[in-house]
Amino acid sequence: MKLLIAGGGTGGHIFPALAIAEQFKKEEPQCKILFVGSHKGLEASVVPHKGFDITFIQQKPWVGKGLRSKIEVLLQFPKIYRQAKKILRDFKPDAVLGVGGYVSAPVLLAASRLKFSTYLLEQNVIPGVTNKMMSYFVDTVFASFEETRQYLPKRSCYVFGNPVRSDIVKVGLCKPQKSTHPDAFRIFVMGGSQGAHVLNLAVIEMLDLFQISPKHIEITHQTGALDYEMVCSEYKQREISARIEKFIDDVASCYENTDLVIARAGAGVVSELIVTKTPSILVPYPFAHGHQIHNAKILESCGAARMILQHDLSGEKIYKIILQLMTYEHSLEKMKQAFGDLNWSESSQKILECIRKNITS
């Protein structure tokens, strides 16, 4: 079987795609997988590093750009569409899976017109612009949340959850309780693959308050490249020891040794929290068309997370939530139990089973 995966741009798009690709390779070692992405997206470095083939098309982003840029994208679309058709005809995939991001649109549209078997993965509660448009052209949509159905056309749609990498699935199946300090409260701060400046600033503000906290704190902080030096300097000035990284590839090890995550509410992070059943403080990115707010509300409504909107964000607010969780012995355990029946550990397998069934029927 040959699978073509189109899309990317950010970790929220590319990591679920890699989870599916890794599962496919595990089940069918002789399979062929080709990613189609952008030179400017995270996929350009991550996909080859994971051992998969990737080719690129010269598509520019649509969302968040001005009128002039949108006109340029529309004028370039015929050329990009022809590139996508050539890739499809050369590779001749059995199935084409779009995972979101602006690259997926021309590939899915071309695949649909060429009568390939087409699929779309929607990671968020509310579909993004590209996925909402493409949902009218593909054969099947894979949604992460039941609530997503209302935003999609009434056609083949399956709710399987959002795939996460196998190493993170293993953490969820058997999460060990390790710590260099037996009474430590372990915090993992991450703003996504690019970091999050306002989140970094709020955590730094919080550090001064932790000087009087009743428990030992262990912090792992993914800063993003732009804030790395600044964050390191702030920790050093306060003589606070922490693991500080620009980007953490082995995020599974962080979830293994974390009591609480402080993060944005992108679909990828929310998926990892669900699979590992890790309590969190979520600060949705306010310029994501409301997608992250709806993602965070899913976990907040069941009691598995606390949400702070960015305009309310401060180090003091984060500190008060953490202090409460540290003070009341069973608070974290209740948050873990609140995940209840949310179980996405087999998302990749279910998606692949559905694709196989469709192309062999």
Q: What is the pLDDT of residues 92-112, one digit of tens each?
A: 999 999 998 888 999 999 999
Stretch 343-352: mean pLDDT: 91
Q: Is residue 45 packed enough to be buried (19+ CB in 10 Å), middle (13-18) or exposed (0-12)?
A: exposed
Q: What is the pLDDT of residues 60-97, one digit of tens each?
A: 555 555 666 667 767 778 888 999 999 999 999 999 99
Q: Which residue has the higher pLDDT, 288 or 140?
A: 140
Question: CA 259, CA 279: separation in Å to the nearest integer?
Answer: 7
Q: Among residues 257, 263, 249, 350, which one has the least CA distance to residue 299? A: 263
Q: Lowest-confidence range among 21-35, 56-70, 222-236, 269-283?
A: 56-70
Stretch 231-238: mean pLDDT: 94
The domain made up of 169-337 has a fold known as Rossmann fold (3.40.50)
Give residue 109's pLDDT.
96
Question: CA 87, CA 53: separation in Å to the nearest integer?
Answer: 13
Q: Which residue has the higher pLDDT, 191 or 294?
A: 294
Q: By the 8 A CB rule, do 227 and 122 touch?
A: no
- For 218, the 3-state DSSP assignment is strand
Q: pTM of the prediction?
A: 0.85
The domain made up of 2-163+345-360 has a fold known as Rossmann fold (3.40.50)
Stretch 225-230: mean pLDDT: 92
List b or e across 146-178, with b for residues whose CB sees 16 or more CB atoms inside 10 angstroms: eebeeebeeeebebbbbbbbeebbbbbeebeee
Q: What is the pLDDT of residues 179-226, one digit of tens each?
A: 455 678 999 999 766 668 999 999 999 998 887 665 688 999 999 989
Residue 293 pLDDT more than 90?
yes
For CATH 3.40.50.2000, list the domain ranges present in the chain: 2-163+345-360, 169-337
Stretch 246-255: mean pLDDT: 90
Give residue 9's pLDDT.
84
